Amino acid sequence: MTESGVDEKSAAHEGVAETGGHQLASNSARRALDIVGDRWTLMILHLAFTSVRRFEDFQSRIGLARSLLTDRLRRMEKAGVVRRERYQDRPPRDEYVLTPMGIDLFGSALMIIRWEKRWFYDPDVIVHRLRHSCGKVFMPELHCATCDIEVVARDVTAVDGPGAGFEPPQKPRAQRRSTVARGELDPHQKMLERAIEVLGDRWTAQTIASAFGGTRRFNALQAVLGVAPNILAERLSRLVELGVLARRRYQDKPERFEYVLTPEGLDLFPLILELIRWGDRWLAGDAGPPQIIRHRPCGTVLKTRIICDQCGETVSVVSTSFDAVSDPPAR
Ligand SMILES: [Zn+2]
Ligand SMILES: [Zn+2]
């Protein structure tokens, strides 16, 4: 969990499948990313947090083919993050409403916004004008609920929890890389451009989550993720291009490289922690959390809250708003 990393031991261990098929160490971030680590799902969620509910409204904002949007909404419904509510009988029409499990992803949405705002601030991006109920445009920060220090990767340790174990990987779903040209993105897409590049793909997202677990070498990543080498190589070079991972030589003969988180990459830590918290709460089941995470400065099991950097108060879905959405400038 720390920058120095857990080590390669767990990664090597994970590569050894004891029960036949490939098994992965249980991990709440990975479970969460199996649900939300998808370009369109992330967009749908962000729109849902701005009160979009209807199929046509999602479609007109995202510009996604009906079949793809239907598929993503179904998946989200099956996962339990949205539910359908009938709003018209003839002809029958449903809208998609966030469930409590879905609303609880607001912390992750805030951590995405925080990261984008910090590293790629753009005054034209709507979500960068996130406003708190104190009246100020603010930066959400993840703090330890016990000692109130902002949580950073080097202050956190993780050990196996009651739910530690192994599980088969999720079946890969057909996921083509999107080829939307940047100039064509509408303001809602633009708001998530960077985060989507990093998280909107199953393998890039899982690679980042594994990097925080201390797995940084090609073979170890391949074993941890159960991904084909050519796909992993492509995703790693993309993450290097995006500036969240850096390639570092650790051996000369033969030449070998490892992939380490850059400052931008390390700053995704609050988001990973939020995903872990969400996964622990909603996806761990009776077994309990796979990992117990502690906060070094106060020594307690980490509990977090998201605060407004302007007034220090806790931020929630009801205490935030986005400044009025202005029309995109005429081209
Ligand atoms: Zn603390
Ligand atoms: Zn505030």
CB neighbourhood size of 21 (10 A): 8
Helix axes 269-282, 28-36, angle to 10 degrees: 90
Residue-wise pLDDT tens digits, 152-171: 999 999 999 999 988 887 76
**Cα(14) to centroid(ligand 2), Å:** 44
pLDDT of residue 62: 86
pTM, to two decimals: 0.86
Q: Give the number of the ligand closest to the Cα of residue 309.
A: 2
Among 141-145, 247-251, 314-318, 319-323, the range scoring the smallest mean pLDDT is: 319-323
Helix ranges (H only) for 80-171 are 100-103, 106-119
Closest CA to 324 of 50, 141, 115: 50
**Cα(302) to centroid(ligand 1), Å:** 7
**Cα(221) to centroid(ligand 2), Å:** 40
Tell me if residue 49 falls in helix, strand or coil. helix
Residue-level length of the chain: 331
pLDDT of residue 190: 61
pLDDT of residue 193: 78
**Cα(152) to centroid(ligand 1), Å:** 11
Closest CA to 136 of 307, 328, 327: 307
Helix ranges (H only) for 142-268 are 187-190, 193-199, 202-212, 218-225, 229-241, 263-266
pLDDT of residue 185: 52
Strands 82-88 and 93-98: antiparallel
Distance CA 326, CA 314 (A): 28
Residue-wise pLDDT tens digits, 78-132: 999 999 999 999 999 999 999 999 999 999 999 999 999 999 888 777 778 889 9
Residue-wise pLDDT tens digits, 38-67: 889 999 998 999 889 999 999 998 888 999
Burial (CB count <10 Å: 0-12, 13-18, 19+), residue 255: exposed
Residue-wise pLDDT tens digits, 173-227: 555 544 444 445 555 556 677 888 898 888 999 899 899 888 999 999 998 888 8
Longest dimension (CA), the chain: 71
Contact 61, 186 (CB under 8 A): yes
DSSP 8-state assignment for residue 170: P
Tokens of 290: 């796979």
Q: Give the number of the ligand closest to the Cα of residue 314.
A: 2
pLDDT of residue 79: 97
**Cα(303) to centroid(ligand 1), Å:** 8
pLDDT of residue 187: 55
Residue-wise pLDDT tens digits, 8-43: 334 334 333 333 467 778 889 989 999 999 889 999
Confidence of residue 326 (pLDDT cuts 50, 70, 90): very low
In sequence order, the 6+-apart residues with CB closer than 8 A to the CB of 3 are 153, 154, 261, 266
- Nearest-10 Cα torsion for 245, 246, 247, 251: -110
In sequence order, the 6+-apart residues with CB closer than 8 A to the CB of 266 are 3, 153
Closest CA to 139 of 155, 151, 124, 127: 127
Tokens of 113: 């916004």
**Cα(44) to centroid(ligand 1), Å:** 33
Strands 291-295 and 245-251: unpaired
**Cα(27) to centroid(ligand 1), Å:** 22
Percent of the chain with pLDDT over 70: 84
Closest CA to 215 of 22, 72, 62, 27: 27
Burial (CB count <10 Å: 0-12, 13-18, 19+), residue 72: buried
Tokens of 206: 């899982």
Residue-wise pLDDT tens digits, 255-294: 888 999 999 999 999 999 999 999 999 999 999 999 999 9
Closest CA to 198 of 120, 293, 309: 120
Confidence of residue 3 (pLDDT cuts 50, 70, 90): very low
Average pLDDT, the chain: 85
Contact 287, 165 (CB under 8 A): yes
pLDDT of residue 118: 92
**Cα(151) to centroid(ligand 1), Å:** 8
**Cα(283) to centroid(ligand 1), Å:** 25
